[in-house]
A = this chain, B = another copy of it.
Amino acid sequence: MADWQEIPGSITAPKGYRAAGITAGLKPSGLPDLALILSDTEAIAAGVFTTSQVRAACVDYCRERLQTKASARAILCNAGQANAATGAQGWEDALESAKALSRVLEIPPESILLASTGVIGQRIKLDALKAALPQLVAAVAEDGAESAAKAITTTDLVTKSIAFETTLSDRPVRIGGIAKGSGMIHPNMATMLAFVTCDAAVSPHLWQQMLGRAADRSFNQITVDGDTSTNDSLIALANGQSRTPAITDAGHDAEKLEAMLTDVCIYLAKAIARDGEGATCLIEVQVSGTSESAEARQIARTIAGSSLVKSAIFGRDPNWGRIAGAAGRAGVLFDQNNLQIKLGQFLMMQHGQPQAFDRAAASNYLRQAAEGAYLKHDTVVIAVSVGDGPGVGKAWGCDLSYDYVKINAEYTT
């Protein structure tokens, strides 16, 4: 069992954070569309962003900011317009929104990070955003996490938030997080966004390293449709308000903090995959037996991303041949005579040989996973072993349903 526990409060659970989400009139729907996360003091800040060559202005803005100064007090996020593929004007809009918020908060613009989600090719509605900032700042509160989690969503069916608490040097340390996204990219609602707050004291370099590794084991291991967005952003703040000793090097405390950070990211990542467009269930792929864990993660991601595996699971079809096919094309060398495949408790292939199994029972397992009314019971588990190596990895995805096509074909431009 992990050495930490879930607590309420998500991003405002750690000490010294407040948040708010309001309706600024950016979304045509009139739903909440502007969120602010505020640390009472300057916090160490780390970020992981889309690797796409086509990036939103806010992504370029944050990368530049964090290279100059690895700290921040505020994250401003708008939903409705992605401000991606908007050229030089999009960049000016990003700068202007940071400046406007800095005037209201009376902090330097350099202490503000930005994120956007919404339609690619559309600029932020800057006038509406600026007009709403005083109201937004007035609304920030210690119980404002849920309103912020709501305001960053687009076509998400649910909000995604979590907080964990552990003990470092006999003092409580907390990490909270919120995320949005129900595809790696949305209809053209760019994106996956996740914001994490922490009250531990940690050096900027170490915090960035921890975040990068946590992202590799969580957000980089989920796939809904294989499309990486222009706006993908994961930003994590650590403000030291827990008053625990500063973590500056590897060691017990660093390991513990990183493990909890990773679990926060995994929770949010799974919540995004579970909310995948049209999905009826969450799929967890567990891979073992590679030389390196990165290879296991790569095989797991390939299986979780296979349209054929995904549509078979939607059809409640225990089609292990598609799992074998996806494993084989993942770009990782292995001897197919060592391949083992399990779907739930059903052993389908061992030593590269097909195994007899109860097909009706296996199909029923898939049906039950989809019909699992409880959050913890709706996961389809695929376990694959490719050899005797120490490498292990997991990935998460969802099934491919008629509704995925419907959502994406009928989304009105």
Instruction: Enumerate chain A interface residues (CB-CB to B < 8 A).
Output: 50-55, 82, 84-87, 119-121, 183, 185, 187-188, 190, 225-230, 305-308, 311-312, 314-315, 317-322, 324-330, 332-337, 339, 349, 351-354, 359, 400-402, 404-406, 408-413
Cβ of A354 and Cβ of B317 under 8 Å apart? no
A328 to chain B, nearest CB (A): 3
Contact B312 A409 (CB under 8 A): yes
A227 to B329, CA, bound (A): 8
Known contacts: A52-B329, A86-B354, A307-B225. The answer to whether A324 contacts B120 by CB under 8 A is yes
List 30 interface pairs A-B (beta carbons < 8 Å), by A numbering. Answer: A51-B329, A53-B327, A53-B328, A53-B333, A54-B339, A55-B328, A85-B336, A85-B352, A87-B351, A120-B325, A121-B320, A185-B325, A226-B305, A227-B306, A227-B307, A227-B325, A227-B329, A228-B325, A230-B325, A314-B405, A314-B409, A317-B409, A317-B411, A319-B411, A400-B405, A400-B408, A400-B409, A401-B409, A402-B405, A404-B405
- Least CB separation from A232: chain B residue: B329
A309 to B317 alpha-carbon distance, docked (Å): 27
Closest Cβ of chain B to A136, distance in Å, is: 27
- Secondary structure dominating the interface of A: loop
- Closest B residue to A314 by beta carbon equals B409
Question: How many angstroms from the CA of A408 to the CA of B349 in the assembled complex?
Answer: 21
Given contacts A226-B306, A307-B307, A314-B409, contact A52 B319 (CB under 8 A): no
With both beta carbons as reference points, the residue of chain B lying nearest to A60 in the complex is identified as B336
- Knowing that A53-B336, A185-B325 touch, tell me 6 more A-B residue pairs with CB under 8 angstroms: A54-B336, A55-B328, A183-B308, A307-B408, A311-B405, A319-B413
Q: A120-B325, A324-B120 are in contact. Are A359 and B413 (CB under 8 A)?
A: yes
CB distance from A370 to the nearest CB of B (A): 12
**What are the 5 A-B residue pairs with the smallest beta carbon separation, nearest first?**
A54-B328, A120-B321, A315-B409, A52-B328, A311-B408
- The copy count of this chain in the complex is 2
Query: Within 8 Å CB of A336, what residues of B?
Result: 53-55, 85
Given contacts A321-B85, A413-B319, whether A326 and B227 have CB atoms under 8 Å apart is yes
B315–A408 CB distance below 8 A: yes
Residue of B nearest to A339 (CB): B54
Nearest B residue to A85 by beta-carbon distance?
A: B324
CB proximity of A360 to chain B, nearest CB, Å: 11
Task: Give the docked Cα–Cα distance between A228 and B119 (Å).
Answer: 32
Partner of A349, one of B85, B307, B401, B405: B85
Chain B hits for A52, CB < 8 A = 325, 328-329
Whether B332 pairs with A53 at a CB distance below 8 angstroms is yes
A314 to B187, CA, bound (A): 13
Select the residue from A84, A185, A327, A349 with max chain B CB neighbours within 10 A: A185
